[in-house]
Structure 1
Amino acid sequence: MNRRHCAAAAITLVCALTALTAPVQAFAAPAPPSPSVTQHQSGPKAPKAPKAPKKTLEEVREEIDALYRKAGAATDAYNLAEEKAKKQSGEIVKLARAIVQGQAKIAELKAQAGAQAREQYRTGGLPPGAQFMLSDDPQLFLDGVNRVREGQQAAQGVLGELTRTQQDLETYTQDASTNWEKLEAGRLEQAEAKKKINAQIAAAKKLESRLKKEERARLLKLEQEAQYKLQTAWLSSGALKDINREASASGKKAVAFATAQIGKPYVWGAEGPKSYDCSGLTSQAWAAAGRPVPRTSQEQWRLLQHIDIKDMRPGDLIIYFSDASHVGMYIGDGAIVHAPRPGRNVTLAGAGSMQILGVVRPDK
């Protein structure tokens, strides 16, 4: 059952408890006035405003890159909201089941209490054991004492359990309501993040569409040159000098999964198997290795163990940019596998080809 159906089913259980346009007339266009009339009526022509200087391809590249990075950050927000929504939906379903079970339990306990009350009424207000207590026979008297005591304990037990079950039911209902409010808040967060993602991607594609074919080819080359420059500077810093550790058994499985996805397209919010976004790739790779990790790059950075770059080994995740909006998996020899951005496929890249925020390790 998908999340929407689960949520709908759950909230049903919880609730059970508590401008024409006017036609336009066409007219013939008037003949343009003669130049002399125009000049007489409007005066001398105003000077044309100077055109804005045309952006260089490098400036266009930087603008497009910034737009896709903003889209990446919004994608992280969307994915996080989606994860929260899944959790809230699951909680609502659990609570709804608990509410149904609580209702059934209350009905059962009320039936028991009713049976005890009817029995007491039939015996003139005295339980059967109390009648034996009135006997002159000592043995019957002792039996009566025990039966009265047992009857009192049973009655108290039923009433006590009934009270506890009713209290639990109230708590379940309140929790279900709270989780439903959180689910609705998450839905609004998702919608806002989705709006931002689409706006940023549309703006980037619009910029690219204005370029001629040869300009787009040059743009790609500039992008590759910028990445190569960063990677070269990173390697020249001696970053790989002490990085010679082997992957763990789980890390090898994660790397094998991630590299097997090379060539598949980037799609924001995707977790495979046909397409991925950056954290969708890394989270699914580690899930395949038997070590589930947080869904988003920001949560991976926040919750996983931080590792010094010099201690990095294949399978570790490299988090990029100051807002932790991108992630790639280190595969050794100064390279990563990652899902770059819309319009690109899962590919290999230099580990230092983007601004590194830090490294995290999913397994110890």
Structure 2
Amino acid sequence: MQKRKNSGPRRRLLWGGAFIAFGGVLAPTAVANAEPEPTREEVEQRIEELLEETSTLVQDYNEAEEVFEAAEAEVDDLEGQIGSEEEVYAELRRSVGELASTSYQSNDPDSVAAALFVDNPSEIFEQAADLSYLSEASRLRLEDFAESDARLIALKEEADIAYGEAEEQLKEVEKNKEKAEEALEEQEELLAAFDGDDPTASGESPNGPTPAYTGSASGNARTAIDFAYSKIGVPYLWGGTGPNGYDCSGLTQASWAAAGVSIPRTTYSQWELPNAVAWEDLQPGDILFFFPDLGHNGLYVGNGMMVHAPSSGKTVSEVRLADYWAAQFVGARRP
């Protein structure tokens, strides 16, 4: 079987690529009443397309969350800096006030008093240079006053822009998320009207006893696999990192974290792990990646099986790689 090579994550604008493609898949559903009933093959094909599109959307959602959380941290940091600048500003304001008082007492108040009320703080530089009666130290304090004011304004603007952009990005992908879940649920309902299994869930037995790992993995890989098996039956959750729900990359991250190994959050960033593994060299504990856009991954457990968090409405499951998942395989990484 020929494996597709992916050079790295294909980043998409969250309000563009992924959902534009997804919208093309969703459109026929809206006019289903005006068309003949779909065949089983058509429904299966639709589910496979939706699974790929929504898997990518999940990772876009995770990236948007990471960006938003980073923006929040940046805002907190900037607010701390702004607090420091405000203290400097207040102190310099006090110093300038003293200069103004001194100037007033010397019967020459205009220069310094005007400097306190200029519209553009940078104008203080020019005025300060003309205050020949001030000592050099006093003139430098005036310049510091102007610079502190400019820094304070710039920091506030930077915080507002970073946070606002991240918030809008997250809101957009959350709206796409809701539409994606509705479409996938509709297609699953159509498939349920036919006999047979969902090809994307081959080997899954969600209603049977929870399987236990009996393979030969040891060390960190064994710990990671044992953790993944312990989560079988836990609901799939968008952006989930446990303990009450997981998405695919949240499960692989948490599994390896249980073994004391830190890996990144999204499938995109997990793909960047340095130890690439070919299909024929897979070992239990390796992280398997699927779809050209790296929208899905799972934990290889040996004997042609993996444990993964599949999609909305499902639970963490053990599945066979043969057929559907093997055909979607693009590569593997070993933490």
Query: Which TM-score tier does this pair reach, normalised by the shorter chain?
Result: 0.5 to 0.7
- Shift in Å at residue 263 of structure 1? 1.7
The structure whose residues are more often helix, as a share, is: 1
Q: 1:219 to 1:95 in 2, by over 3 A?
A: same
Q: Corresponding residue for 1:284?
A: 254
Instruction: Look up the match of 2:57.
Output: 74
Query: CA separation in 1, counterparts of 2:37 and 2:102?
Result: 95
* The one of 158, 161, 177 aligned to 1:194: 177
Question: Mapping of 1:1-364 within 5 angstroms?
Answer: 55-116=38-99, 118=101, 152=135, 154-155=137-138, 158-208=141-191, 211=193, 215-216=194-195, 218-220=196-198, 249=220, 251-301=221-271, 303-305=272-274, 307-309=276-278, 310=280, 312-351=282-321, 354=325, 355-362=328-335
Q: How many residues align?
A: 263
Distance 1:115 1:54 in 2: 85
TM norm structure 1: 0.60
Q: Please give the secondary structure, in 1, of the residue aligned with 2:238.
A: coil
Q: How far apart in 2 are the matches of 1:194 and 1:273?
A: 21
Equivalent pair of 2:58/2:239 in contact (CA under 8 Å): yes
Distance 1:288-1:108 versus aligned 2 partners, 3 A rule:
farther
TM-fit CA distance, 1:290? 4.3
Distance 1:332 1:152, change over 3 A: farther
Aligned partners of 1:58 and 1:219 also within 8 Å: no
Equivalent position amino acid for 2:277 in 1 = D
Change (3 A) 1:254 1:160: farther
Alignment check: 8 A CA contact 1:79 1:269 kept: yes
Q: Which amino acid aligns with 1:256?
A: D
2:71 partner letter: Q
Q: Which moved more, 1:317-326 or 1:86-95?
A: 86-95
Equivalents in 1 of 2:158, 2:258: separation in Å?
34
Q: In the aligned structure 2, how far is the partner of 1:247 from the partner of 1:196?
A: 42
**Residues 325-360 of structure 1 deviation map (CA, whole Å, 9 limit, x = unaligned):** 110012344432211223432122234551211112
**How big is each residue's C-alpha offset from its partner over 1:210-251, in whole Å with a ceiling of 9 and x where there is no partner?**
x1xxx45x234x666699xxxxxxxxxxxxxxxxx97664x4
Tell me, which stretches of 5 or more residues in structure 1 are unaligned? Answer: 1-50, 126-150, 228-244
The structure with higher relative contact order (CA 8 Å, sep 6+) is 2
Q: What is the RMSD of the two structures over their aligned residues, measured on CA atoms?
A: 3.5
Counterpart AA for 2:197: L
Report the Cα distance in structure 2 between the residues aligned to 1:314 and 1:170, rounded to whole angstroms. 54
Q: Indicate the structure (1 or 2) with the bigger Cα radius of gyration.
A: 1
How does the TM-score come out when normalised to structure 2? Answer: 0.65
Alpha-carbon separation, structure 2, partners of 1:158 and 1:316: 61
